Structure 1
């Protein structure tokens, strides 16, 4: 009898940030280590990663990190984990190369070298498990599912997958291997739920390639294509379409050159012509109808970059009459508002917008029928839907029930929930800390709810600064309060408000100076409280109030 625990650290009840832990006996196996790009409410945040506290506390038990593919939602948080815990990392050839790009770009992990390349034929024996892999179909080559052996049966993690029977060799699913895993017995299946509630029929990548080619071929002006840098399959389709339409490609994303060079070196991507890609400076030598600009944006997310182009703030590339913006990435539900805003800006700039999903249903994740086929092939004893918001996980649970699984053997988890096997059955067994960790610049985890609240207030109601100078020896105000405000009110039209605020501050300071229990913190808090009440009464707004008290020590003559 094995002691088994499954703990999701991300990827459940949210989009992205996939990271799951399987504990077999005393050993910890980490499945993916991804990040999540922030939604609009996380002002200034670059990315969100899992909380590694539990793993740091138990680092001596970690066997390794096993990666399914090279997208940011699977490998993006790896540099931050490896900065705290040095453990072996296993992945396919392309996945490892993309992981190396991520780790070398972060100071805390740039010296890490313990990478191991695996494929669908690899088996690795550990004291508590034999780890093996199987090929899956996704939008990037070398995608793998992971199998952890145990005495109770296999724990199978699908990673991102779909079934596409027309996929070319490097993207094909090995159905025979899936059936073999199912025949040997699957204890628990952790399966991608992204499209569980969407009944629309997905088209094959062959049909997508034809759609991309038609769009590029029949547009007379310049084309700006928005794509995700790590979606290698989409990049290949764009390059092929540009070549056949006799267009030159200009790359504008920050990291797309590195991704493309890695993919070409590993024969995962092929340029139809050595002259296909031109430098940014060479654009002036070509007519608009001879150009295709491939925009992947910061971190491979192109939408913000399109907004800058539409607002005439792009790096020399500004959208205008005759341009076509072709969006080949499918946004998550959380990004739909941002997408609508982007399309509106593009049209206002005089350009035209088309999206790849206008005429066809495009996704790198399986349809409900695909998800049910995976369950039927695996025939798991227990089922854990992962990767998606709660409603998507619940829809996947219903799909599993429809093919014969008992709801009692299906677990809808939250971050940090522990599912434990007690020798008789799996059950919920408490939780570990697995909060979101914010990454802002070089800071990791130093931004919390208080800072985010202040940023939100600053963005909505602005800042109100009151500066005054005092002399504590004479207990007098040396310089009367000076008021500065940004993003709150227009000072010239609100002189009475500013003058009255200065009087309030001066009165508070004078009262505090004669108090024998004078404290700096007490003085500043009193200013914040009284000013906040007054300003709200007058404006119904609550700006961030910053009292600045300077001390002067004037000498007597």
Structure 2
């Protein structure tokens, strides 16, 4: 009888960062290893990845990482894991190539080579379980679900999926395989919830292509298409529509070029004409009416790139009068304000905006009907909604209940929750250390809540710095405190405030020096509190107060005093001979005067 544990290390109660660990006895199967892009409050953070602590503590039990598809929410954190741990990685042909691309971009992970290509016909036997795969429909080719076959039944992870009856063969779901898995007996289903709340039916990809083609046919000027770099299906549709309307496609950004090159190499992306794609350096030679600019932005995020185009800060493209900006991606609700601001900036620049989400519900994730169809095909005993914020997980639970699944068999977990199956029953049995690891530049996990809090305060009220030098031996202040501010007040117009702040720092420091039990931490804290109270009373703001307190080095003082004493002793005799020194000093003058008469005869000659 196998002991099974299912642990969400990411991907629940949040968007992205998918990572799930399924432990069967003493073997751990890791499903996806993704990242998420930070929300606005994570100032300066580039990306967020899962906390690997649990897997690192049990690294000897990890038998492999199994990837469902090639998007960043499934493979983005892989380089940070494999740079420390040599664990085999499994995925479809395109997924593995994109994973290699991600790993190659991380200097510390470049040496990792343990990649294995699998397909829907692959089955991998391990000691405690067998892992197999099934094809799914998503916005990128090579998407697969994962089946972990155990003695107690199958644990199935769908990955990102939807059902599209008109999908081309490369993207089609294998319904027969799903029926086969369902007949074997599914113990637990980890199912995509990202679109569970939507009341709309997903548009088919055929309808989306026709919509793009229509936009290309009826606009006479240049078209700038905003898309996600890894949405290979959308890239293919844009290229096909451009070819049919006699336009050339210009790719912007290295990320997009690398992904397109990889997809072309794998045959996942096909070009109607060999010369359909034009290098960015030749964009000025193209007729605007025959040009499509495909913009994906840094890390695949096109919205910020559009803003740069609108204000002429983009490296190569500027939005001009008559340009159509065609947004073919569906941003999350958290981006609604940013998207609205971007549209306004585009109109100010003279362009116009068309968004695919205004007329069609385009999503790569399953809606209500698709989720219920998946449940009816697999007939799981238990459901764990994953991939979505809490409201989406709860909506998925309601959808499952509508098809007959009791609520007690549905587990809405948090990050780190352990769901165990033993004695014929599944239940929440505890928690493991899990959370967010923030990436800022080359720093991995060195940014915590305290740093983020300080960044937030700095962004809101600025910083106030007070510098002072003290002499603890004489209990005196050596120099008058110097105070300055950045992002708090304009110093030149706040002279009274700065002067009073200087006096407060002086008084606070002197009080601490007079105290018998002098303590550095107490001194700095007192300066922060006294100065903070005064500044808030005067401005109603709370800047970050940074006291910089320096101390005179007593040893150096003694050393300098000793040298000065020695120098004084040697100079005393010289001082007594001051008159002789004056005489010696005049000698050169006398010599110069003596030479003058000799110079005059020379002049007379």
Task: Name the TM tier (shorter chain).
Answer: over 0.9
In the alignment, structure 1 segments of 5+ residues that lack a partner are none
How far apart in 2 are the matches of 1:300 and 1:51? 23
The equivalent of 1:417 in structure 2 is 417
The equivalent of 2:323 in structure 1 is 323
How far apart in 2 are the matches of 1:551 and 1:279? 61
Confirm or deny that 1:386 pairs with 2:425.
no
How far apart in 1 are the matches of 2:506 and 2:306? 49
The equivalent of 2:210 in structure 1 is 210
Confirm or deny that 1:240 pairs with 2:240.
yes
Give 1:224-235 correspondences, 5 Å limit: 224-235=224-235
How far apart in 2 are the matches of 1:438 and 1:224? 33
Give 1:305-320 correspondences, 5 Å limit: 305-320=305-320
The equivalent of 1:301 in structure 2 is 301
Maintained 8 Å contact 1:417/1:428 = yes
Change (3 A) 1:254 1:524: farther
Structure 1 residue 357, shift from structure 2 partner: 0.9
Q: TM-score, normalised by structure 1?
A: 0.97
How far apart in 2 are the matches of 1:361 and 1:246? 28
How far apart in 1 are the matches of 2:485 and 2:145? 55
- Higher mean C-alpha displacement, 340-349 vs 19-28: 340-349
How far apart in 1 are the matches of 2:246 and 2:488? 53
- What does the per-residue CA deviation read over 1:472-510, in whole Å, with 9 as the maximum and x for residues that have no partner? 454433332222211111222221111111111122223
Structure 1 residue 107, shift from structure 2 partner: 2.6
SS at match of 2:517: coil
In the alignment, structure 2 segments of 5+ residues that lack a partner are 565-605
Maintained 8 Å contact 1:253/1:294 = no
- What does the per-residue CA deviation read over 1:365-386, in whole Å, with 9 as the maximum and x for residues that have no partner? 1110010000000011111111
The equivalent of 1:348 in structure 2 is 348
SS at match of 1:206: helix
How far apart in 2 are the matches of 1:319 and 1:213? 21
How far apart in 2 are the matches of 1:398 and 1:204? 25
Structure 1 residue 297, shift from structure 2 partner: 1.1
The equivalent of 2:134 in structure 1 is 134
Confirm or deny that 1:149 pairs with 2:149.
yes
The equivalent of 1:451 in structure 2 is 451
Confirm or deny that 1:61 pairs with 2:27.
no
- Higher mean C-alpha displacement, 410-419 vs 508-517: 508-517
How far apart in 2 are the matches of 1:237 and 1:407? 41
Maintained 8 Å contact 1:242/1:249 = yes
Structure 1 residue 423, shift from structure 2 partner: 2.0
SS at match of 2:281: helix
Q: How many residues are paired up?
A: 557
The equivalent of 1:85 in structure 2 is 85
SS at match of 2:363: coil
Structure 1 residue 50, shift from structure 2 partner: 0.8
The equivalent of 2:431 in structure 1 is 431
The equivalent of 2:5 in structure 1 is 5
Give 1:440-479 correspondences, 5 Å limit: 440-479=440-479
- What does the per-residue CA deviation read over 1:315-357, in whole Å, with 9 as the maximum and x for residues that have no partner? 1422232122111111112222222222222222222111111
The equivalent of 1:36 in structure 2 is 36
Structure 1 residue 523, shift from structure 2 partner: 2.3
- Higher mean C-alpha displacement, 333-342 vs 32-41: 333-342
Maintained 8 Å contact 1:254/1:297 = no
SS at match of 1:108: helix
Maintained 8 Å contact 1:166/1:206 = yes
How far apart in 2 are the matches of 1:491 and 1:44? 27
How far apart in 2 are the matches of 1:544 and 1:137? 51
The equivalent of 1:159 in structure 2 is 159
How far apart in 2 are the matches of 1:137 and 1:241? 22
How far apart in 1 are the matches of 2:510 and 2:276? 73
SS at match of 1:207: helix
The structure in which a higher percent of residues are helix is: 2
SS at match of 2:150: coil
Structure 1 residue 209, shift from structure 2 partner: 0.8
Largest Rg, 1 or 2: 2
How far apart in 1 are the matches of 2:240 and 2:479? 70
The equivalent of 1:105 in structure 2 is 105
- What does the per-residue CA deviation read over 1:125-147, in whole Å, with 9 as the maximum and x for residues that have no partner? 11111111000000000000000
Give 1:476-495 correspondences, 5 Å limit: 476-495=476-495
How far apart in 1 are the matches of 2:188 and 2:252? 43
SS at match of 2:478: strand
- What does the per-residue CA deviation read over 1:22-63, in whole Å, with 9 as the maximum and x for residues that have no partner? 111111000001111001010001111111101000000011
Q: TM-score, normalised by structure 2?
A: 0.90
The equivalent of 1:96 in structure 2 is 96
The equivalent of 1:530 in structure 2 is 530
- Higher mean C-alpha displacement, 459-468 vs 165-174: 459-468
Change (3 A) 1:223 1:550: farther
The equivalent of 2:569 in structure 1 is none
The equivalent of 2:187 in structure 1 is 187
How far apart in 1 are the matches of 2:328 and 2:99? 24
SS at match of 1:354: strand
Structure 1 residue 111, shift from structure 2 partner: 0.7
Confirm or deny that 1:16 pairs with 2:23.
no
SS at match of 1:450: helix
- Higher mean C-alpha displacement, 133-142 vs 469-478: 469-478
How far apart in 2 are the matches of 1:316 and 1:543? 39
- What does the per-residue CA deviation read over 1:510-553, in whole Å, with 9 as the maximum and x for residues that have no partner? 33334443333332222111111111111111111112223445
SS at match of 2:481: strand
Maintained 8 Å contact 1:254/1:299 = no
Structure 1 residue 305, shift from structure 2 partner: 1.4
Maintained 8 Å contact 1:227/1:296 = yes
How far apart in 2 are the matches of 1:475 and 1:310? 60
How far apart in 1 are the matches of 2:551 and 2:167? 73
Confirm or deny that 1:118 pairs with 2:155.
no
- Higher mean C-alpha displacement, 436-445 vs 520-529: 520-529
- What does the per-residue CA deviation read over 1:442-482, in whole Å, with 9 as the maximum and x for residues that have no partner? 11111111100111111111111122333445443333222
- Higher mean C-alpha displacement, 354-363 vs 483-492: 483-492
How far apart in 2 are the matches of 1:549 and 1:467? 6
How far apart in 1 are the matches of 2:404 and 2:169? 33
The equivalent of 1:256 in structure 2 is 256
